[in-house]
Amino acid sequence: MSENYMIQALSREGIASELKLPNGQILKNRIVKASMEEGLSDKEFLPSQRLFKLYERWARSGAGLLLTGNVMVDLNGLTGPGNVILRKDIDLSSVQKWAEIGQSGGSKIWMQINHPGRQTFGFISETPVAPSPIKVHIPGRMFSKVFGEPRALTGEEIKILIQKFVDAALIAEKAGFNGVEVHSAHGYLLNQFLSPISNIRKDEWGGPLENRARFLLEVLKGIKASVRSDFGVGVKLNSADFQGGGFQEEDSIRVIKMLEPLGLDLLEISGGNYESPAMQGTGTNKREAYFLDFAKKAKEITKIPLLVTGGFRTRSIMEEAIVSKEADLIGIAAPFAFHPTFVDGLLSGKIEKVSVEIPKLSNPALNSLSKMSAIRLQFRRMGEGKEPKLPGSLIWNMIRDQIRGRRNAKRYKRLLRRLLKPEI
């Protein structure tokens, strides 16, 4: 059997094959552009021309599904100072254009909706909200003031935020997106409620896992009850936070069992947070596909289509994961920042491996921040019609990124003052 024939045979049931989701949507292949924070909003914190240009590139990538970067559900909750913020009174035209561009090449596009909780930079908010007043802790003096001092949400505020997630999904649906992914991983608010490290509440939102998972479950139930049946609803969940005493694999398995009856269309498996950044590449056995071992366990207990994101670079490993049914979809992130049109070559077998060589720094937290800054630089370049290019200095690029972030934070605070709305 020739090598070309083997590639074609695998592709018919592998990464090039279609996938029909429970809601009836058909993805043209199994490759997903995983979520990465673009930071390209306009002065009103809505989609900008640069964001459109970036997604024009990704719409031609050949991916079956495009997941957007963080879109914020609450005016007072911002993961990064250049992200899109949804609110009820916005002009939908720019959001609609974003959805149209994302689908222009035959891909589906889902909006990732999120709230940062305590994982909010101090220059954005000195007092972010959280399950409990426990600050993000990253070792090293230089990180001691990176994040704000959080306050605990009241029960009534939690209910308001649940509705804001639902409202965000309805806006995405009205704007023409094909679905939403609720972000409950990487140390953001919903993940914070799941973790016994960041959630020490004694009410119905804390304590046993069933209570800690209540926020996430209520968000998903609310969205499912409000959107059309053909609108996709998914969730991003940590396999573990990789912190002693935190959210562990056995907890994740129990949460997946809770998710099973909700009729979700997608479950994305990831891991880590800012305190333990496994999502940036500290993996398990193969140095590639480092959440695949957990995905095998999840596959045994759920029928929700499984998207596995983290470390995939080699076509043969992706094919093996799909053909063996260890995963239903392959999530790829950083390669889309540096090689935005690689998917067709991957699907045809012309490309065996897509690599991203970003030099590593010795400090894990610093390394994570520098990598994110280098990736965001590529988004800005593509948003300006330029080709991706690594910065000459990761440190200087990170410093410039922080300066840019602080400028955006000032613009954000002016927006808050101007709108004068009673937000959480």
Confidence at 277, pLDDT banded by 50, 70, 90: low
Closest CA to 36 of 279, 345, 308: 279
17 assigned to some structural domain: yes
Mean pLDDT of 66-77: 96
CATH number, domain of 370, equals 3.20.20.70
176 assigned to some structural domain: yes
Task: Give the span between the Cα atoms of 364 and 330, in whole angstroms.
Answer: 25
Of the candidate ranges 3-12, 29-38, 194-203, 259-268, the one whose mean pLDDT is the lowest: 3-12
Mean pLDDT of 163-180: 98
424 assigned to some structural domain: no
Task: Give the span between the Cα atoms of 11 and 413, in whole angstroms.
Answer: 50
Extract the tokens encoding 186: 């990487």
Residue 139 DSSP label: S
* pLDDT per position as a tens digit, 284-296: 434 578 889 999 9
Beta strands in 8-153 (DSSP E): 19-20, 26-27, 31-33, 65-72, 84-85, 108-114, 129-130, 151-152
Mean pLDDT of 198-204: 96
Domain count, the chain: 1
DSSP for 103-129 reads HTTS-EEEEEEE--TT--BTTT-SS-E
* pLDDT per position as a tens digit, 230-256: 999 999 999 987 777 788 999 999 999
Mean pLDDT of 131-159: 85
Q: Under a CB-based contact definition with an 8 Å cutoff, are residues 22 and 70 in contact?
A: no
Q: Under a CB-based contact definition with an 8 Å cutoff, are residues 302 and 267 in contact?
A: yes
286 assigned to some structural domain: yes
Is the per-residue pLDDT at 2 higher than 70?
no
What was the pLDDT predicted at 276?
A: 60
What was the pLDDT predicted at 417?
A: 86
Task: Give the span between the Cα atoms of 84 and 239, in whole angstroms.
Answer: 27
pTM over 0.85, yes/no? yes
204 assigned to some structural domain: yes
Parent domain of 164: 3-419
297 assigned to some structural domain: yes
200 assigned to some structural domain: yes
